[in-house]
């Protein structure tokens, strides 16, 4: 096998900007894991450590993750596949690395059993995330390498892993802005799930590449020359062909499967020094080539919900090729590829254009209905205090806090996420009760509540909910709120609903 493996040196060279302590801990993790996995082989016959473990660690370093994540990536299979215990990891490294490795190990126990189980998987992933987003990022790169080597498994298992990747991991990668890994996972899964379609599309994309490839090369030369002549010096270009799956998706959703109608099969990226240069370049490009009307999108001024920023425009070049241009800064480029992962790098204070993106917003990307629950628009319930605290924290100490600090401190210290039996996420303050949960669903549910089950067992109304609890509220038409509840609930919303229900009842009784 002519496979070359990533080495410790490769990983350390991706960590150039990190401290020597950071490199040291990664070096120790490398040596520790190498010893622990000694003699183990993958199904492909390759050595387990050099192939799977080294790749996972390398991808994390490449994405710009911090030393703890890279070390945890190197150690991620030690608990499951070797004699190493969580306690040993903590002793040898630290509690943080232990936590990430244990989290990844727990996620590994989720088995994919079709759609209804999918919700359950998502739930577990989200709970893990709510405690430390790095757990999910390490898991994501573990999955990437597993998908790259998926073909060595039996066909049925290949399909199952591919389906799970498509339904669970791809959407998460998308929501965390991790464009690079999303595109890779999506194409790997697609190739397994629909091999014929994948083949056909790959073939057609290759044909088209052959047809116009050299013309595009010439066009790129023109563009560079013109940009340079206009005084833009500090820039580079990158040319790429759209992923097979996203190509197929777009053709299907928008153009009735007409592949030739997809205009942005070829994307030409121009990576510039700053935002002003991006806008200048847009003007220059439109002077050089003919833009297609209605295709200019300014995601710099209006970022996508996952934080993506760039200016897009589709043009017809002088040699008659339709190309999508993406104009962006180096930082936007990094963000577009690695998303949240690129924010974990050691001591790097939030960049100007990302500093507004809070943990809450990342989390909102993962939990679509979070906004609905926490930003009530009815009954005048105010924006939760913790949300205001969050923006306060960031404005107050913008340079002294890393993204990671903010992540650890804010939301998760004071909030819990509980789930309905169907998997909806309910966001609550610490020490919230089943009564708070019931009122967060709907005031009618709270007003008619007559029992609660937590994780399948009957629980008292005033019990304290924990992160990840599944809560089922039992209701009865004749049930009524009771005065005692007022002293128990933690949310303002529940309190005000209980008061108004009690008042209404008093009025009815007095007549
Ligand atoms: Mn693994």
Region 175-197: mean pLDDT is 92
Residues 6+ apart with CB under 8 A from 459: 434, 452, 453
Question: How confident is the model at residue 439, as a pLDDT?
Answer: 94
Please determine, for residue 501, whether its predicted confidence score (pLDDT) is greater than 80: yes
Q: Between 121 and 508, where is the model more confident?
A: 508
* Least confident among 137-141, 248-252, 380-384, 433-437: 380-384
Please determine, for residue 470, whether its predicted confidence score (pLDDT) is greater than 80: yes
One DSSP character per residue, 192-250 reads HHSHHHHHHHHHHHHHHHHHHHHHHHHHHHHHHHHHHHTT--SEEEEEEEPPHHHHHHH
Is the Cα torsion angle 333, 334, 338, 344 positive or negative in sign? negative
Please determine, for residue 243, whether its predicted confidence score (pLDDT) is greater than 60: yes
Question: How confident is the model at residue 412, as a pLDDT?
Answer: 45
Residue 145 CA, ligand 1 centroid: distance in Å: 8
pLDDT digits (tens, 9 = 90+) for 340-367: 777 766 344 444 334 334 455 555 555 5
pLDDT digits (tens, 9 = 90+) for 441-452: 999 999 999 999
CB 69 within 8 A of CB 134: yes
Mean pLDDT of the chain: 82
Is the pTM higher than 0.95? The answer reads: no
Please determine, for residue 120, whether its predicted confidence score (pLDDT) is greater than 90: no
Please determine, for residue 478, whether its predicted confidence score (pLDDT) is greater than 60: yes
Share of the chain above pLDDT 70, in %: 80
Question: How confident is the model at residue 354, as a pLDDT?
Answer: 40
Question: How confident is the model at residue 349, as a pLDDT?
Answer: 41
One DSSP character per residue, 3-15 reads -----HHHHHHHT
pLDDT digits (tens, 9 = 90+) for 368-420: 444 333 332 223 333 333 333 333 233 333 344 444 444 444 344 566 778 88
Residue 76 CA, ligand 1 centroid: distance in Å: 6
277 is catalytic: no
Residue 402 tokens, joined: 């890393």
Question: How confident is the model at residue 111, as a pLDDT?
Answer: 63
pLDDT digits (tens, 9 = 90+) for 12-69: 999 988 899 999 999 999 999 999 999 999 988 899 999 999 999 999 999 989 999 9
Region 276-296: mean pLDDT is 94
Residue 54 CA, ligand 1 centroid: distance in Å: 10
Residue 364 CA, ligand 1 centroid: distance in Å: 27
Residue 201 CA, ligand 1 centroid: distance in Å: 31
* Catalytic-role residue among 81, 167, 330, 361: 81
* Catalytic-role residue among 17, 80, 238, 444: 80
80 is catalytic: yes
Task: Give the confidence band of 82 by pLDDT, cuts at 50, 70, 90.
Answer: very high
Q: Which residues are placed with Cβ below 5 angstroms of ligand 1, an ion?
A: 77, 142
Question: How confident is the model at residue 27, as a pLDDT?
Answer: 98
Question: How confident is the model at residue 123, as a pLDDT?
Answer: 67
Question: How confident is the model at residue 37, as a pLDDT?
Answer: 96
Region 210-214: mean pLDDT is 87
Highest mean pLDDT pick, 195-199, 263-267, 358-362: 195-199
231-236 long-range contacts, Cβ below 8 Å, gap at least 24? 232/272, 232/277, 232/280, 232/281, 232/284, 234/272, 234/273, 234/277, 235/270, 235/271, 235/272, 235/273, 235/277, 235/281, 236/270, 236/271
């Amino acid at each position: 096998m002519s496979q070359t493996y990533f080495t410790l040196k490769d990983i350390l060279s991706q960590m150039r900007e990190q401290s020597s302590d950071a490199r040291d801990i990664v070096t120790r993790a490398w040596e520790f894991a190498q010893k622990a996995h000694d003699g183990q082989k993958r199904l492909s016959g390759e050595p387990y450590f050099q192939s799977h473990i080294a790749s996972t660690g390398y991808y994390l370093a490449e994405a710009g993750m911090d030393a703890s994540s890279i070390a945890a990536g190197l150690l991620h299979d030690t608990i499951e596949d070797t004699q190493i215990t969580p306690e040993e990891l903590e002793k040898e490294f630290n509690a943080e690395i232990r936590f990430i490795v244990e989290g990844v190990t727990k996620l590994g126990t989720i088995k994919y059993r079709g759609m209804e189980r999918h919700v359950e998987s998502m739930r577990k992933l989200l709970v893990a995330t709510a405690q430390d987003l790095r757990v999910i990022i390490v898991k994501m790169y573990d999955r990437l390498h597993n998908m790259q080597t998926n073909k060595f498994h039996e066909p049925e298992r290949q399909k199952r892993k591919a389906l799970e990747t498509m339904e669970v991991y791809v959407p998460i990668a998308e929501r965390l802005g991790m464009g690079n890994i999303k595109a890779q996972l999506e194409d790997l899964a697609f190739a397994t799930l629909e091999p014929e379609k994948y083949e056909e599309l790959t073939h057609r994309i290759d044909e088209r590449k052959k047809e116009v490839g050299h013309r595009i090369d010439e066009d790129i030369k023109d563009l560079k020359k013109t940009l340079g002549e206009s005084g833009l010096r500090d820039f580079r270009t990158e040319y790429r062909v759209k992923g097979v799956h996203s190509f197929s998706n777009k053709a299907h959703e928008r153009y009735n499967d007409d592949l030739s109608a997809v205009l942005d099969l070829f994307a030409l990226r121009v990576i510039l020094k700053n935002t002003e240069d991006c806008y200048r370049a847009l003007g220059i490009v439109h002077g050089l080539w003919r833009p297609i009307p209605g295709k200019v999108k300014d995601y710099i001024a209006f970022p996508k919900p996952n934080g993506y920023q760039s200016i897009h425009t589709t043009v017809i070049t002088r040699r008659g090729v339709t190309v999508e241009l993406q104009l962006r800064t180096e930082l936007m480029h990094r963000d577009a590829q690695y998303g949240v992962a690129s924010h974990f790098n050691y001591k790097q204070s939030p960049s100007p254009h990302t500093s507004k993106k809070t943990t809450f917003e990342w989390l909102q990307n993962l939990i679509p209905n979070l906004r609905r629950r926490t930003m009530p628009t009815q009954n005048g319930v105010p924006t939760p205090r913790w949300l205001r605290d969050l923006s306060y924290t960031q404005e107050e100490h913008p340079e002294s806090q890393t993204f990671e600090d903010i992540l650890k401190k804010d939301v998760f210290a004071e909030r819990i996420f509980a789930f309905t039996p169907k998997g909806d996420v309910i966001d609550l303050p610490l020490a919230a009760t089943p009564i708070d949960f019931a009122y967060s669903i709907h005031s009618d549910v709270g007003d008619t509540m007559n029992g609660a089950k937590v994780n399948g067992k009957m629980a008292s109304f005033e019990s304290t909910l924990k992160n990840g609890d599944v809560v089922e509220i039992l209701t009865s038409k004749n049930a009524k709120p009771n005065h005692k509840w007022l002293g128990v609930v933690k949310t303002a919303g529940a309190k005000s609903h209980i008061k108004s229900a009690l008042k209404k009842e008093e009025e009815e009784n007095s007549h």
